[in-house]
Amino acid sequence: MMNMINAQNPFFEISDTPHGTAPFDKIKTEHYEPAILEGIRQQTAIVDAIVQNPELPTFANTIETYEKSDALLGRVLSVFFNLNSAETNDELQLLAQKMTPVLSEHSNNINLNEKLFSRIKAVYDQKSSLSLTPEQTKLLDDIYDGFIRRGANLQGEAKEKYRELSKELSNLTLQFDENNLKEVNNYQLVLTDRAQLAGLPNSFIEAAKETAKEKGVEGWVFTLQAPSYGPFMTYADNRDLRKELYLAYNTKCLHDNEYNNLEIVKKIANTRMAIAQLLGYDTYAAYSLKNRMAENSDAVYKLLNQLLDAYTPTAQKEYREAQELAREVQGSDFTLMPWDWSYYANKLKDKKFSINEEMLRPYFELSQVKEGVFGLATKLYGITFKKNTAIPVYHKDVDAYEVFDKDGSYLAVLYTDFHPRAGKQSGAWMTDYKGQWIEKESGENSRPHISIVMNFTKPTESTPALLSFEEVETFLHEFGHALHGIFANSTYESLSGTSVYRDFVELPSQIMENFAIEKEFLNTFAKHYQTGELLPAELIQRIVDASNFNAAYACLRQVSFGLLDMAWYSRNTPFEGDVKAYEQQAWAKAQVLPVVEEACMSTQFSHIFAGGYSAGYYSYKWAEVLDADAFSLFKQEGIFNHEVAESFRKNILSKGGTEHPMVLYKRFRGQEPTIDALLIRNDIKN
């Protein structure tokens, strides 16, 4: 029976697609389960062979063999879980619920395999006499430490307790994300009176009309997806409607229905704490931060408090300025609420700098922005992108590109997926469908398949996709992650590309955002989609002048998320209280806007409850310190300077997790970073 299934399953066939890319055109939902089960069987067989090997444990027969043991399973799961985020459906979600405990059990069977760990430990204990390369040493350290961090040293009941907790955590995080997606998809604001659209740009009104048509309703439809929610909060004159949409967005997974995440939040936080304590740590933060640049909670709080002290006075001033503008219109007793912030901040920005997002959109047509971002990589690194329609994709909106190095050699495949749809999680991210590694036997460098997924403004019947400036920055950010994957050049897949410390992984992405306000870069692509006119120099100058507008508020917003994250994961006792009250207390000192009692971030905070940023959300600000310091070298030598770019590629982008990130950073920069460059960039310090 298995042979018949194998013969009909594209995961078991030798791929005839370009570069062995995933055959999305052949993969069906029914193919996943047998492929996952076969992948589990194959990895189990390899692990059994390692354990039963009569030879003494060596780096080659134990560490390297284990590193490659999930070849099939990893390939299947990369497609399965990536599509469950980018193009899911009820069938796929049900299968994820079914397979998650199976995969958790399989993972535990390996991590808690005493004989396997004893062989890994035997190699680790003789590390100093093995003459390993730095990369081999890092692989050995990571695998050994990974087993310990996943319960290998536990005994008896503790080991069974770990199994139970890790399986429960897998199910909870999956449910958390699915509930969020359902809440987003289940909400729509339907307007039928054109007067209610006052203030909204025509292009946005047209997009809402298209959404209504797609959903089969009359009038205009606004959703909680970013390209709909953001502009509505920025431009809609009707304050009651702004409040309605704000509350819909900020009460996701709080309602009295099956998608409520309040209990799930508690269970995830408590389960992570229980796992950490089982492994000998006081808190989950202590467990998580052991393998981070920050190393401990004290270092995280030091950074967050430094930022609080530096930015709070300016952030409060920014709020007062917006409040004053609102009171000129609404009266002296008007209180600026969170649903007013984007609206009046936008008016204040326009008043101060004569600039707003809608003024810029015509110059940021998506295909032109794509040319500009790809062209930036060409200018910096000499790489080129060629669309290949022979590479299968998983949705008609997705494009696939071959990436070629400066010498013309093949470097990677890049998938781009730009627009929101019902089956896609909100937000933006980079991922891969295949990692990079070097084949030991042949020496062949097996190149990666990278994907960037976003939720940008969609085209309408009369206009192409015109991006906001913020969306351009998001594109640059995710493309920076993509370059980290594209340039990967490690021997081992688990050390390749973005497989680095969480508080280092945002450096390659955030450094790219700096280019968004550089005239030399904007002049390469920012042209009016109708006239072809270049973005005028005086408008570019206004972008530069406005680049620090409300930067302090934006910083404190990120700090507040970091404080909330640390509050959930610095606990050493189970949480049984009120989630909303706890949240409001946790981030109180970073709040600039009035508190809205009904709102709650935790129930929708996927980064820390379902993603990889648990006790790690501070990473964005940590990496911002790095990126400001690193980009100052580009500014000093020229933003397209080939020597600086080549050094960044060689010392950061291509190295993955093969060495400690501070070693890599100092090799590029020549020094450790300080917060000064960030403060100067944001005009907080001269």
Residues designated catalytic? 478
CA torsion sign for 34, 37, 42, 43 is: positive
Strands 410-417, 429-434: parallel, antiparallel or unpaired by DSSP? unpaired
What CA–CA distance (Å, rounded) separates 402 from 424? 24
Over the Cα atoms of the chain, what is R_g?
A: 25
Inter-residue contact 69 to 48 (CB < 8 Å):
no
One-letter amino acid of 76: V
Beta-strand (E) ranges in 296-421? 384-387, 399-404, 410-417
CA torsion through residues 57, 61, 66, 69, sign: negative
Q: How many helices (H) and strands (E) does the chain have?
A: 28, 9
Greatest CA separation for the chain = 84
Count Cβ atoms within 10 A of the Cβ of residue 36 and give its class: 0-12 exposed, 13-18 middle, 19 or more buried.
Answer: buried
User: Which strand (E) or helix (H) includes residue 546?
Assistant: none
**CA 345/CA 350 separation, integer angstroms:** 9
**Could you tell me the two tokens for 65?**
């063999």
296: phi then psi, degrees, rounded to nearest 5? -155, 165
52: three-class secondary structure by DSSP: helix
The separation between CA 257 and the C-alpha centre of its own chain, rounded to angstroms, equals 28
Task: Please tell me the distance from the alpha carbon of residue 356 to that of residue 181, in angstroms, as a whole number.
Answer: 30
In the block, tokens 């992984």 appear at 505
DSSP structure class, residue 59: I
Q: How far apart are CA 273 and CA 664, in angstroms?
A: 32
